[in-house]
C-alpha cells in the first residue's frame, strides 16, 4: 500500500502516516480516513479503494489498450505512445455510488461504507475522444464498453469488470484515460497504468486497469451495468442506473464527539460537491440542540449560509466554513446542507433504496459545548 508521512502540524502532533482504513482485505476495499477529507486534495496514500476482484499488475511496458468493436479502424496503443499525447488536467471528486450505505436503515446489502468512500484528486489524462477519432467509430454505435484487466467468478462464470457509457458521455472532452493522479503515475490499487475517469458520474464508471474500449450498436447488458449499480425501490424493481453524482456535503471540523467552548466562536468546516460539473448554489449550516434532534418541525429553520471557497474547477469539491458560537452547555448536532445550480439539495434523511446507492443526506457531526 502506498502511504507516506504527512506532517499534521499543531503542538504536540508528530508526523502522521496516511493509510486508507480497510473495510475488506480480499478483495481489497478501504475508506478514506476522515482526517484526510479535510485536505483540499486527497493524498493517494489516504484515498479510498473499491475493488471487485484482485488487483491486476501490468508493467507499463507491457500494457496495451485495444480500441475497436463497431469501428472502421480498430487499433491498439501502448503506454509510451499514450503518454506522448496531449493530456488534460482536472480536479475530480471520485465517489463510490455506495458511499454512505452504512447509514441507511435497514442496511442494504453491500459494503457498509460510512461517508468516507470519496476523495478528490488532481488527474491528468488523454481525452478518450482523441483515440475514438482515430478508430473511426461507426455511426451505428450507441455506447462504448470499457474493460478492466481484472476478472473473477460471477454466478459461476469468469467475468471481467466492464462498464459502458453512452457515446456522448464517452466522447465528452473531459472523459479521460488517466495516467497520473496528484502528479504521480497511477498507483496499482487506483488502476495502474491507465484508468478511465468520467467526471460527474459515480466512480463505478471509472474503469481501472483499462485494457479495452469497444463500440457497440446495442446497449451493453453486462453484470456491472444491467444487474448491479441500479437504483431499486425494492429488490427487483429497477428505477434506473446509477449515473450522476448527487449533491452532497460533509463536515470535516470539528471532529465528532469533541468538546467546543460555549460562548466562543467555533469554526465549522467541510467540503461539498455535485455531479456533472453542476456548480454549487450554496452550503448551509444548522446547529441543533439535543432537544431538537430528529424533530422535523424545526428542520426548515435556522440554516445559515456558509462561506464558500473558490471551487477547484467544475468537478472538484468546494471547501466551506461557518463561524458558530454555541450558547448553551450540552450536546449539539451540527448539520450541513448543499444545494446545486439545479436546486437539487440534500435530504434530511438517507434516501433509502434496496442496494444503498446515492446516499446523500445532510452532513452531520455531534459535539458537546462545555
Chain positions contacting ligand MTE, by CB under 6 A: 47-52, 94, 96, 148, 150, 161, 190, 203-204, 206-209
Task: For the CB of residue 124, give the shortest distance to Mo ion in the complex, in Å.
Answer: 22
Say how many C-beta atoms besides its own lie within 10 A of residue 342's C-beta: 13
How many C-alpha atoms does 309 have within 13 Å on its Cβ side? 15
Task: For the CB of residue 348, give the shortest distance to Mo ion in the complex, in Å.
Answer: 25
Residue with smaller CB distance to ligand MTE, 32 or 339: 32
Q: DSSP characters for 118-151?
A: EEEEEEEEEEHHHHHHHHTB-TT--EEEEEEEEE
Q: DSSP characters for 286-350?
A: EEEEGGGTT-TTTTTS--EEPEEPPPSSTTS-EEEEEEE---SSEEEEEEEEEEETT--B--SS-
Rg (Cα) of the chain, in Å, rounded? 21
Task: For the CB of residue 202, give the shortest distance to Mo ion in the complex, in Å.
Answer: 7
Task: For the CB of residue 261, give the shortest distance to ligand MTE in the complex, in Å.
Answer: 37
Indicate which of Mo ion, ligand MTE, none lies near residue 94 (CB less than 5 to 8 Å, by partner kind). Answer: ligand MTE
Distance, CA of 138 to CA of 140 (rounded, Å)? 5
Distance, CA of 64 to CA of 208 (rounded, Å)? 14
Q: 180 pairs with which residues across the strands?
A: 124, 185
Residue with smaller CB distance to ligand MTE, 51 or 278: 51
Given candidates 18, 32, 42, 50, which one binds Mo ion under the rule CB under 5 A? 50
Which segment (76-84, 201-209, 211-219, 350-358) binds Mo ion by CB under 5 A?
Answer: 201-209
C-alpha cell of residue 227: 444487474
C-alpha cell of residue 4: 507516506
101 near Mo ion (CB under 5 A): no
Residue with smaller CB distance to ligand MTE, 118 or 285: 118
Given candidates 36, 96, 186, 242, which one binds Mo ion under the rule CB under 5 A? 96
Residue with smaller CB distance to ligand MTE, 128 or 209: 209
Task: For the CB of residue 351, give the shortest distance to Mo ion in the complex, in Å.
Answer: 17
C-alpha cell of residue 29: 476495499
DSSP state of 246: P
242 near Mo ion (CB under 5 A): no
Are the beta carbons of 370 and 329 closer than 8 angstroms? yes
Task: For the CB of residue 148, give the shortest distance to ligand MTE in the complex, in Å.
Answer: 2
94 near Mo ion (CB under 5 A): no
Indicate which of ligand MTE, Mo ion, none lies near residue 201 (CB less than 5 to 8 Å, by partner kind). Answer: none
Are the beta carbons of 96 and 50 closer than 8 angstroms? yes
Residue with smaller CB distance to Mo ion, 51 or 91: 51
172 near Mo ion (CB under 5 A): no
* Longest CA span, the chain: 71
Residue least distant from ligand MTE (Cβ): 148
Residue with smaller CB distance to Mo ion, 30 or 96: 96
Q: By the criterion CB under 5 A, which residues form the site for Mo ion?
A: 50, 96, 204
Amino acid at each position: 500500500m502506498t502511504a507516506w508521512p504527512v506532517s499534521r502540524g499543531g503542538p504536540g502532533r508528530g508526523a502522521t502516516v496516511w493509510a486508507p482504513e480497510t473495510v475488506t482485505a480480499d478483495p481489497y476495499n478501504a475508506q478514506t480516513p476522515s482526517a484526510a477529507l479535510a485536505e483540499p486534495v486527497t493524498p493517494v496514500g489516504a484515498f479510498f479503494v473499491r475493488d471487485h476482484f484482485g488487483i491486476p499488475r501490468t508493467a507499463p511496458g507491457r500494457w496495451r489498450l485495444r480500441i475497436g468493436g463497431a469501428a472502421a479502424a480498430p487499433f491498439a496503443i501502448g503506454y509510451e505512445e499514450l503518454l506522448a499525447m496531449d493530456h488534460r488536467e482536472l480536479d475530480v471528486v471520485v465517489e463510490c455510488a455506495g458511499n454512505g450505505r452504512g447509514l441507511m436503515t435497514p442496511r442494504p446489502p453491500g459494503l457498509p461504507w460510512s461517508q468516507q468512500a470519496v476523495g478528490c484528486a488532481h488527474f491528468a489524462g488523454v481525452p478518450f475522444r482523441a483515440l475514438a477519432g482515430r478508430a473511426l467509430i461507426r455511426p451505428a454505435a450507441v455506447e462504448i464498453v470499457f474493460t478492466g484487466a481484472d476478472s473473477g467468478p460471477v454466478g459461476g462464470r469468469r467475468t471481467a469488470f466492464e462498464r459502458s457509457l453512452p457515446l456522448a458521455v464517452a466522447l465528452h472532452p473531459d472523459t479521460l484515460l488517466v495516467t497520473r493522479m496528484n502528479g504521480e503515475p497511477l498507483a496499482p490499487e487506483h488502476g495502474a497504468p491507465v484508468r478511465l475517469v468520467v467526471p460527474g458520474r459515480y466512480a463505478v464508471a471509472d474503469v481501472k486497469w483499462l485494457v479495452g474500449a469497444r463500440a457497440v450498436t446495442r446497449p451493453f447488458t453486462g453484470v456491472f451495468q444491467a444487474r448491479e449499480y441500479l437504483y431499486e425501490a425494492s429488490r427487483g424493481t429497477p428505477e434506473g442506473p446509477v449515473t450522476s453524482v448527487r449533491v452532497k456535503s460533509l463536515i470535516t471540523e470539528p471532529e465528532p464527539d469533541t468538546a467546543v467552548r460555549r460562548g466562543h466562536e467555533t469554526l465549522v468546516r467541510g467540503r461539498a460537491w455535485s455531479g456533472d460539473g453542476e456548480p454549487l448554489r450554496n452550503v448551509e449550516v444548522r446547529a441543533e440542540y439535543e432537544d431538537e434532534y430528529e424533530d422535523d418541525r424545526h428542520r426548515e429553520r435556522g440554516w445559515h449560509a456558509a462561506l464558500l471557497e473558490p471551487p477547484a474547477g467544475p468537478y472538484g469539491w468546494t471547501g466551506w466554513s461557518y463561524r458558530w458560537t454555541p450558547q448553551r452547555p450540552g450536546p449539539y448536532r451540527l448539520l450541513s446542507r448543499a444545494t446545486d445550480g439545479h436546486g437539487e439539495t440534500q435530504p434530511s434523511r438517507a434516501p433509502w433504496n434496496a442496494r444503498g446507492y446515492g446516499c446523500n443526506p445532510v452532513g452531520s457531526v455531534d459535539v458537546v459545548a462545555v
